[in-house]
Amino acid sequence: MTDLTAPERALTLSGLAKPTVAAAETWSRWSFSARTQHAILIAIDAVVIIAALGVTLAWGWSRDLIHLTAEHVLVTAGMLVGWIVLLGLTGAYSLRHLRAGPVEYRRVANASVVAAGIFGVSCYLLNYSYPRTMFGVWVVVGLFGLLLFRLARRRVMHGLHRRELLLTPVLMVGSVAHVDEVAMVLSRERWMGYKIVGAITREETTSTGTGLRVLGGLSDLKSVIEQHKVSVAIFTEGSFDCPGDFRRLAWKLEQSRIQLLVVPTLADISPDRLEFRPFGGLPLVDVARPRALRSLRWSKRVSDVVASAILLVLALPILLVTALLVKLEDGGPVLFRQRRVGLKGQEFDCLKFRSMCVDAEARLAALQAQNQGAGVLFKMVDDPRITKVGKFIRRYSIDELPQLWNALRGDMSLVGPRPALPREVAQYDSDTRRRLEVRPGLTGLWQVSGRSTLSWEDTVRLDLYYVDNWSIIQDVIILLKTFRAVVGSSGAY
């Protein structure tokens, strides 16, 4: 086996290196045309809506069947067809939004509400009698079923993508440096299902720094797309000299039906903060100020107070039992107080159940040589300072429950960046200090994205993304994912 550079090995393991013949056969064997995918989606949606009607009747509205006539059956069939048509008109079957993001779910919900509204108004205007209760429950159950199916399908697709099935051939276009940057992102997000076949660049080279094969220049783009059966072309910075070049190239590729994606210079900014504002033919992008730095932060504080108070009451039995177990193990203090840095650099006492021996801090210096973390974090698998009870409560994050009191007091938030030690903050660069613009959290993107297995760089990147793109909905999603991560004890040690 030939020797590979470190970047080449990373790309080979992540599926970004030059595709093999077997990989190409996999694409062919597991690929479906857009028309076939649309037909499958429509058929499954029809089955889901019909099943929702059956569930509705089985739930106790079967008495409505007594009053259903042949005309009602035809009207019900019309409602089914209209529902499907509206799903199509609102773009719910667009293949562009099947991989990630809330757009697909939003369109399904909008189409369902509009379909129900049109049907209800039509019945009222035509003075047509239709079982109202049955209809209302049918719409609710049907909407739930449609959303659940899409969630399940997305999970299945992500699993197949990680196993290198149903992959989409992608061609990268741009400068070598920017192509490599985007390629590494795709390697990290393998669940998206993109398989890079190579790169097109204006630079004279046969491969990029990460080992991607350069297949030619811009003049070869169309032939490369046809030869490698490319479905998506991703354009990074350095692709063109002027904006008009991209427009002319898009004209040439119209017949190939290839999807064109352009990577903007606005990295790690949530789409919710971006709004297009056309001006003189220029697609200007308005970037809103982060919500966490605006007046909306009061809503986060109110939700923290209410939620932490409720959770403290619910967790009281667990808190009492854990306190007793910690005390009985070695007779030491139950709580571990540690100075942490919070909002605007203010220090506070962060509370935890003690999970290590009493002299853990004194023994830290002797263990620094075994540090498995990068950056300013100390990480160690099977840390000898952890007690037996501590190992269990750390595994399921029970040791962090006292921080609910910190959240109630205002030192912390339920969701936010990881609370940092003063010695860690002393080593922060100017970018990393932005983590201090919001309250640290009991959980955060770092918690649901790997916990202790994350590198220092990834932890910082996730925390900064949270600061810049905070929203209440995102907090709710993180809390739900935290519960799943804690129950599965994934990434904890």
Distance CA 444, CA 421 (A): 17
| Residues whose CB is less than 8 angstroms from the CB of residue 271 and which lie 6 or more positions away in sequence, other chains included | 101
> Would you say 355 and 388 are in contact if contact means Cβ atoms under 8 Å apart?
no
- Asked if pLDDT for residue 68 goes beyond 70, the answer is no
CATH code of the region 6-29+166-263: 3.40.50.20
Q: Span 412-426, mean pLDDT?
A: 93
The listed range with the strongest mean pLDDT (14-23, 148-157, 358-367, 398-407) is 398-407
What is the pLDDT, as a whole number, of residue 23? 41
Q: What are the pLDDT digits (tens) for 31-48?
A: 556 778 888 899 999 999
Q: What are the pLDDT digits (tens) for 93-146?
A: 887 766 667 788 889 999 999 999 998 888 888 887 777 788 888 899 999 999
| Helices vs. strands in the chain: H and E counts, helices first | 18, 11
What is the distance, to the nearest Å, from the Cα of residue 289 to the centroid of all Cα atoms in its chain?
Answer: 21
Q: Which two tokens stand for residue 481?
A: 């994912």
Q: Write down how long the chain is.
A: 493
- Asked if pLDDT for residue 20 goes beyond 60, the answer is no
Percent of the chain beyond pLDDT 90?
A: 30
Domain range list for the chain: 6-29+166-263, 34-162, 297-487
Strand partners, 198: 171
- pTM comes to 0.61
Q: What is the CA radius of gyration of the chain?
A: 27
| Residues whose CB is less than 8 angstroms from the CB of residue 68 and which lie 6 or more positions away in sequence, other chains included | 131
> Would you say 272 and 291 are in contact if contact means Cβ atoms under 8 Å apart?
no
Torsion of CA 90, 94, 100, 106, to 10 degrees: 10
Strand partners, 287: 274
What is the pLDDT, as a whole number, of residue 55? 87
| Residues whose CB is less than 8 angstroms from the CB of residue 478 and which lie 6 or more positions away in sequence, other chains included | 415, 443, 444, 445, 447, 448
Confidence of residue 16 (pLDDT cuts 50, 70, 90): very low
- Asked if pLDDT for residue 403 goes beyond 70, the answer is yes
- The closest of 368, 340, 364 to 352, measured between CA atoms, is 340
- Asked if pLDDT for residue 377 goes beyond 70, the answer is no
What is the pLDDT, as a whole number, of residue 243? 67
What is the pLDDT, as a whole number, of residue 99? 67
**Residue 60 per-residue DSSP state:** I
